[in-house]
Amino acid sequence: MRGLRIAALLTMAGAMMAAYSLHTPAKVGARPDRTRFDAAVIKNAAQMLDQGRHTFRFDTFGDQDFWGGTLQLHKALEGSQFGGVGPGVSPATALAVGLKVDVDALPPSLIAALRAGQVNLSSPATTLALLKQNAVLGVTGYFKPDGSLRSMGIQCALCHSTVDKSFSAPGIPPGNIGHRLDGWANRDLNVGAIVSLAPNLQPVADLLQVDVPTVKTVLASWGPGKFDAELFMDGKAFRPDGKSAATLIPPAFGLAGVNLHTWTGWGSVPYWNAFVANLEMHGKGTFFDPRLDDAAQFPVAARNHFGHVNNQPDLITGKLPALHFYQLSIPAPAPPEGSFDEAAAKRGDELFSGKAQCTTCHTEPLWTEPGWDLHTGQEICIDNFQADRAPDHRYRTSPLNGLWTHAKGGFYHDGRFATLLDVVNHYDSCFNLGLSTQEKSDLVQYLKSLPAKE
Ligand code: HEC
Ligand code: HEC
Ligand closest to Cα of 257 equals 1
Q: Is residue 137 lining ligand 1, measured as CB closer than 6 Å?
A: no
If you measure from the C-alpha of residue 346 to the centroid of ligand 2, how many angstroms do you get, rounded to a whole number? 19
Q: Is residue 191 lining ligand 1, measured as CB closer than 6 Å?
A: yes
Ligand closest to Cα of 278 equals 1
Summarize pLDDT for 153-179 with one digit per residue, the tens: 999 999 999 999 999 999 999 999 999
Using the atom order of ligand 2, give the atom closest to the CA of residue 382.
Answer: 18
Q: Atom 21 of ligand 1 has which residue's CA nearest to it?
A: 262
Ligand closest to Cα of 277 equals 1
If you measure from the C-alpha of residue 56 to the centroid of ligand 1, how many angstroms do you get, rounded to a whole number? 11
- Does 230 have pLDDT greater than 90? yes
The predicted model gives 363-374 an average pLDDT of 96
Ligand closest to Cα of 250 equals 1
Using the atom order of ligand 2, give the atom closest to the CA of residue 263.
Answer: 17
- Under the banding of pLDDT at 50, 70 and 90, the label for residue 371 is very high
Q: Is residue 275 lining ligand 1, measured as CB closer than 6 Å?
A: no
Summarize pLDDT for 80-128 with one digit per residue, the tens: 999 999 999 999 999 999 999 999 999 999 999 999 999 999 999 999 9
Cα–Cα distance between 313 and 219 in angstroms, integer?
31
- Under the banding of pLDDT at 50, 70 and 90, the label for residue 208 is very high
Question: How distant is the alpha carbon of residue 28 from its chain centre?
Answer: 41
If you measure from the C-alpha of residue 228 to the centroid of ligand 2, how many angstroms do you get, rounded to a whole number? 21
If you measure from the C-alpha of residue 414 to the centroid of ligand 1, how many angstroms do you get, rounded to a whole number? 14
Cα–Cα distance between 154 and 132 in angstroms, integer?
14
**What confidence score (pLDDT) does residue 308 get?**
98
**Selection from 197, 266, 208 nearest residue 233 by Cα:** 208
- Does 409 have pLDDT greater than 80? yes
Q: Which of 27-41, 117-131, 228-242, 396-410 is predicted least confidently? A: 27-41
Summarize pLDDT for 273-323 with one digit per residue, the tens: 999 999 999 999 999 999 999 999 999 999 999 999 999 999 999 999 999
**What confidence score (pLDDT) does residue 452 get?**
86
* Torsion sign, CA atoms 275, 276, 277, 283: positive
Q: Which amino acid is at 75?
A: K
Note whether 200 and 147 are within 8 A (CB): no
Note whether 191 and 159 are within 8 A (CB): yes
Q: Which of 21-35, 190-204, 337-351, 401-415 is predicted least confidently? A: 21-35
Beta carbons within 8 Å of 380's beta carbon, 6+ residues apart:
395, 427, 430
Cα–Cα distance between 31 and 251 in angstroms, integer?
38
**What confidence score (pLDDT) does residue 20 get?**
43
Nearest 5°: CA angle at 170, between 169 and 176? 50
The predicted model gives 52-63 an average pLDDT of 98
- Under the banding of pLDDT at 50, 70 and 90, the label for residue 17 is very low
Cα–Cα distance between 176 and 92 in angstroms, integer?
10
**What confidence score (pLDDT) does residue 431 get?**
98
Q: Which amino acid is at 422?
A: D
**What confidence score (pLDDT) does residue 454 get?**
66
**Selection from 353, 357, 360, 348 nearest residue 447 by Cα:** 348
- Does 30 have pLDDT greater than 90? no
Q: Which amino acid is at 63?
A: D
Cα–Cα distance between 179 and 200 in angstroms, integer?
34
If you measure from the C-alpha of residue 364 to the centroid of ligand 2, how many angstroms do you get, rounded to a whole number? 13
Q: Which of 3-7, 145-149, 224-228, 402-406 is predicted least confidently? A: 3-7
If you measure from the C-alpha of residue 444 to the centroid of ligand 2, how many angstroms do you get, rounded to a whole number? 13
Q: Is residue 412 lining ligand 1, measured as CB closer than 6 Å?
A: no
CB within 6 Å of ligand 2 — which residues? 263, 356-358, 360-362, 375, 379-380, 395, 397-398, 400, 403, 411-413, 420, 423-424, 427, 443, 447
If you measure from the C-alpha of residue 399 to the centroid of ligand 2, how many angstroms do you get, rounded to a whole number? 9
**What confidence score (pLDDT) does residue 42 get?**
95
**What confidence score (pLDDT) does residue 32 get?**
56
